[in-house]
Amino acid sequence: MAKYRSPLVSRYASPDMAYNFSDLKKFSTWRKLWTWLAKAEKHLGLNITDEQINEMESNLTNIDFERAAVEEKKRRHDVMAHVHTFGVCCPKAAPIIHLGATSAYVGDNTDLIVMRDAFDLILPKLARCIQRLSVFADNYKSLPCLAYTHLQPAQLTTVGKRACLWIQDLLMDLRNIERARNDLRFRGVKGTTGTQASFLALFEGEEEKVEILDKLVTEMAGFQQHFLICGQTYSRKVDVDCMSTLASLGASVHKICTDIRLLANFKELEEPFEKEQIGSSAMPYKRNPMRSERCCALSRHLMCLIQDPLMTASTQWMERTLDDSANRRICLAEAFLTADIVLSTLQNITEGLVVYPKVIERRLNLELPFMASENIIMAMVKAGADRQECHEQIRVLSQEAANVVKQQGGDNDLVERIKKSSYFIPIHSQLNKILDPSTFTGRAPDQVKKFLEVEVKPAIKPYSHKLDEISELNL
C-alpha cells in the first residue's frame, strides 16, 4: 500500500533541500560526529587506533536502515539503534563509538549542521529573487502608474519604485537570515546535562583536554564557535531565532505576491504564463496567478510554523524535556522546505513578470485629472485667478465628471470639461504639460537608481557567483 508523502518533498521542494533533511544526510552526519569525536579523543591520548577511525570513515554512508529500524523497535531509542547498526559494519570500532557522549551530542549537533546547510541553500535563492526584481525595477523606474493607499488610487508612483518596496523587505530578510546563519553555534561535546562530567572522567580530571576536545570537534564540524553553556540540549531559543527569520520571509513574500495578484486583477502586471498553460478547467480565457497563489498559500504555512519553536522553548523544563523532539522533527524540516519552494517560485515569477504599459496608462488617465486639480489651481493662480473661486470652479466640474464615472460608467471627462470652460482659458495651452504623468512621480526614478546602487548591489555581491541559475519549477 502506498504511503503518504509530504507534498513539501514529493511536489515542491528542490532536490538539494529535500536531501538536506533526508535520513541519509541525518544519519551519515551522526556517523561523522562519532568519527570526529573518536579522532579528537585519540588526539588527546585515549586508547583509540587509526584502524578503528579508518573503519568508521569507510562506513559513513553504509547505513543498513532496515537493521536500524529493527534495533529501534527493540531498544525504543533511535540513537542507540544507530550506535549498534554502525557497530555492526565497524566491529573493530564498535567499543569506542559514542564514547562519553549522550544522544544530544549527535541529535543536536546534527540539527545545527543541517540548519546551517539549509540556510546556505536559501540565501543564494533569496539573493537571486532580489537581483531579478532589481533588474525589473531598473527597467521600469520611470514608468508612471497609480499608487494606492487603502487600495484606493493615490498620487502616482512608478512601476519600478513599487518593486523597490518589495526588494527592501527582501533585503531585510537577507540581513536577518544571514545573521541567524552566522550566529549559529555548535552545541559541541557537553555530556548528559551539559557539565562535561563524562569527558572529565575519561580524561581523568584534565579540564584542559576536555576544553580542547570541544574545540577540536567544533572545528571539524565547520563551526567557528560552540556554546560555553547548555543543558542536555542547546537552548531551543536558537530554533526560535532561525524560524522567526523564515516566518518573516514568509510575510514578505506573501505581501509581494498579494500585490502581484491584485495588479493581475487590474491587468497592469502578470506573472509568467506558458503557452500551453490552462488557467481554469471551466473558463478557457482565464490567466490565474497560480504561482503567486502558491507562494501565498505556502507563506501562510511558513508564518504559522513559528508557533512551534516558541512553545517548545517556553516549556523546556530545567535541563530539557523530551517533548521537544517529535515537534522539532516536523517543524524544523517543514520551515526550511517551505521557505525553499517559496523562494524558488518567487524567483520563477520575477524572471518573467509581464507589464502592460497601455493598461497602466489607461487606468492612470482615469484618475489623473482629479489628482491634477491642485496643479491646475496653482497654474490658474499664477495666471491671475482667485484661488478660492478657482477651487469652486474645479470642484463643480470634478463632481460632474465623477458622476459620469460612477453613475454612468463612463470615462473621466474632467479635462474635456476644463477645456470647454471659458474660465480656464488662461491655462488651456498648459494642460498637456500639467497632466504629464511624469511630473507626478516626484523623485521616484532617482530613488530607484540610488537604492539599487547604494543598498541592493552591496547586499547581493557576496552571492554574485550564484546569481545566474534559472529557477526551473515542476508546475
156 and 301: one domain? yes
Q: Which percentage of the chain shows pLDDT scores above 90? A: 68
Rounded Cα distance, 26 and 197, in Å = 27
Residue 120 sits at the vertex; the CA angle it makes with 117 and 126, to the nearest 5 degrees, is 145
65 and 164: one domain? no
Structural domain of residue 344, as residue ranges? 103-187+230-273+286-359+454-466
124 and 146: one domain? yes
Number of separate domains in the chain: 3
- Domain boundary at 73, 96, 119, which? 96
* Section 84-105 average pLDDT: 93
310 and 355: one domain? yes
175 and 107: one domain? yes
Choose, from 10, 280, 314, 438, the residue flagged as catalytic.
Answer: 280
**Residue 200, domain member (yes or no):** no
Q: What is the pLDDT of residue 365?
A: 85
260 and 322: one domain? yes
Inter-residue contact 170 to 129 (CB < 8 Å): yes
Q: What is the CATH number of the domain that holds 430?
A: 1.10.40
- Domain boundary at 68, 96, 124, which? 96
**Residue 258, domain member (yes or no):** yes
397 and 332: one domain? no
Rounded Cα distance, 471 and 474, in Å = 10
392 and 331: one domain? no
CA 204 from chain center: how many Å?
Answer: 48
- For the segment 235-282, what is each residue's pLDDT rounded down to a tens digit? 999 999 999 999 999 999 999 999 999 999 999 999 986 655 445 444
168 and 256: one domain? yes
Confidence band, pLDDT 50/70/90 cuts, at residue 377? confident
Rounded Cα distance, 186 and 116, in Å = 10
* Section 78-106 average pLDDT: 93
- 3-class state of residue 355 by DSSP: strand
Helix (H) or strand (E) holding 180: helix 159-183
124 closest CA partner among 340, 448, 285: 340
Q: What is the pLDDT of residue 274?
A: 60
Residue with cell 470652460: 421
Residue 421 appears among annotated catalytic residues: no
92 and 109: one domain? no
Q: What is the CA radius of gyration of the chain?
A: 31
Inter-residue contact 28 to 110 (CB < 8 Å): no
Lowest average pLDDT, out of 59-73, 353-367, 405-419, goes to 405-419
- Domain boundary at 49, 65, 96, which? 96
Instruction: Please state, in angstroms and as integers, the Cα–Cα distance from residue 451 to each residue in 177, 461, 462, following that order.
Output: 21, 15, 18
**Residue 1, domain member (yes or no):** no
154 closest CA partner among 452, 367, 377: 367
Rounded Cα distance, 88 and 94, in Å = 7
Residue 280 appears among annotated catalytic residues: yes
Q: What is the CATH number of the domain that holds 75?
A: 1.10.275.10
390 closest CA partner among 408, 406, 402, 378: 378
Choose, from 150, 281, 429, 465, the residue flagged as catalytic.
Answer: 150
**Residue 54, domain member (yes or no):** yes
As beta bridge partners, residue 269 has 355
Rounded Cα distance, 32 and 12, in Å = 29
Confidence band, pLDDT 50/70/90 cuts, at residue 325? confident
- 23-61 in b/e burial notation, b at 16+ Cβ within 10 A? eebbbbbbbbbbbbbbbbbbebebebeeebbebbeebbe
Inter-residue contact 335 to 248 (CB < 8 Å): no
**Residue 194, domain member (yes or no):** no
How many residues make up the chain in this entry? 475
Task: Specify the higher pLDDT residue, 222 or 191.
Answer: 222
Q: What is the pLDDT of residue 284?
A: 45
**Residue 172, domain member (yes or no):** yes
Confidence band, pLDDT 50/70/90 cuts, at residue 183? very high
Locate 317 and state its grid cell. Answer: 523544563
269 and 318: one domain? yes
One-letter amino acid at 23 equals D
Inter-residue contact 460 to 467 (CB < 8 Å): yes
DSSP symbols for 24-88: HHHHHHHHHHHHHHHHHHHHTT-S--HHHHHHHHTTSS---HHHHHHHHHHHS-HHHHHHHHHHH
- For the segment 391-418, what is each residue's pLDDT rounded down to a tens digit? 998 889 888 888 888 888 888 888 888 8
Dihedrals phi, psi of 130, to nearest 5 degrees: -65, -45
Q: What is the pLDDT of residue 473?
A: 65
146 and 29: one domain? no
pTM equals 0.89
Query: Can you list the pairs that 395-402 forms with residues at least 24 positions away whose Cβ atoms lie under 8 Å?
Result: 397/421, 398/369, 398/370, 398/373, 401/369, 401/370, 402/370
Rounded Cα distance, 175 and 186, in Å = 21
Query: Can you list the pairs that 306-313 forms with residues at least 24 positions away whose Cβ atoms lie under 8 Å?
Result: 306/240, 306/243, 306/244, 306/246, 306/247, 308/243, 309/236, 309/239, 309/240, 309/242, 309/243, 310/240, 312/236, 312/239, 313/235, 313/236, 313/237, 313/239, 313/240
The neighbour count for residue 144, using CB atoms within 10 Å, is 24
**Residue 447, domain member (yes or no):** no
Inter-residue contact 323 to 315 (CB < 8 Å): yes
**Residue 74, domain member (yes or no):** yes
Rounded Cα distance, 15 and 468, in Å = 18
Q: What is the pLDDT of residue 475?
A: 57
pLDDT beyond 80 at 76 = yes
Q: What is the pLDDT of residue 5?
A: 81
Q: What is the CATH number of the domain that holds 316?
A: 1.20.200.10
- For the segment 107-133, what is each residue's pLDDT rounded down to a tens digit? 999 999 999 999 999 999 999 999 999
* Section 446-463 average pLDDT: 96
Q: Which percentage of the chain shows pLDDT scores above 70? A: 96
